[in-house]
Amino acid sequence: MRMDSINFQKLISVLNPLPIFQNNNNNLQVSVKLQFAVFLKRIGSKENIFEICSRFGIAEGTVYLYCKRIMIAISSLKKFLVKWPTNETKQRVHEGFKNIGGMENVIGAIDGSHIVLANAPLKQPESYWSRKKRYSIQLQGIVDHKGIFIDYEIGWPSSVHDAKVYKNSHFYLNASEIVKGKLHSFFKDSSFSLLVKLFTIKEDLSL
C-alpha cells in the first residue's frame, strides 16, 4: 500500500487534533506522523510484526497500540468523510460521470471486493473461506466520479453472495431516504439488482 506525501500530510493534519492522540497526563505521545507510518507499514506491507518493530525501534505491543489508535481515529471520521452527495454536489457528480462515460444522471459506481484476513476467524471460520482459497470479508462500496467513497458495507463473510450483501446493506434498506429527487443511475456488475421505483442501474460498459 502506497500513499503519496501530499495525501499523507493531509491526513496527518486531520488526525492531529483528535482526542485519542491527546493524553490527559504529562506523558506525551509520539507524533501522529510516526504512529500513522507504523500503521501504514503494518497494513500495507508484507513485513511481519517483528520486522516492523526492528524498522521503527519499538516493541510489539507498541505497534498494536499505534495501529489501534489510528483505526479508532479514522473510524471516528467516517460520517464526515463518507457521505452521500448533497443536492448541491449531485450535479457535479452527474457531470463528472458524463465526462467519463457519456451517460446521464449517474450518481455512483457500485461494486464489491474481498479483504483478505491474516488468520481464520474463531467463529464459523468456514464461512470466511472464499472461492479464491483464502479467508476474507466482503466490502461493498459506492464511489463518485472521483473514486471517493460515498457509501460502504463491510464485514460479511466471503462465502456470502454479493447480491445478498447488497440486499441487506444499509444503502439498499434505506434507499428511499438516501436517494432523493430525480432519477439516478449507477454503474454496476451483474450481482446488483434493479430498484425500479427509485433509480436505474446501468451495466458498466465504459468504466
Beta bridge mates, 152 = 141
Kindly state the cell numbers that stand for 75: 473510524
- Going 192 to 133 to 160 to 79, the CA torsion angle's sign is negative
> What's the confidence (pLDDT) of residue 31?
95
Q: What is the pLDDT of residue 190?
A: 60
- Residues 2 and 5: their CA atoms lie apart, in Å, by 10
Give me the pLDDT at residue 44, please: 87
Domain boundaries, the chain: 5-78, 83-203
Residue 196, pLDDT score: 36
Q: Which residue spans within the chain are E strands per DSSP?
A: 106-116, 136-143, 149-157, 184-188, 199-203
pLDDT of residue 193: 53
What confidence score (pLDDT) does residue 206 get? 40
Whose CA is closest to 148, among 204, 92, 87, 67? 92
Q: Give the per-residue pLDDT at 163.
A: 85
| pTM metric for this prediction | 0.76
Residue with the three cell numbers 516493541: 59
Q: What is the pLDDT of residue 195?
A: 42
Per-residue pLDDT, 183:
62
Residues 6+ apart with CB under 8 A from 182: 105
- Run means of pLDDT, 10 residues per run, the chain, 207 residues: 85 94 84 96 90 96 97 93 88 90 84 90 95 94 93 94 89 82 67 46 43
Whether residue 110 contacts residue 202, with contact meaning beta carbons closer than 8 Å, is answered with no
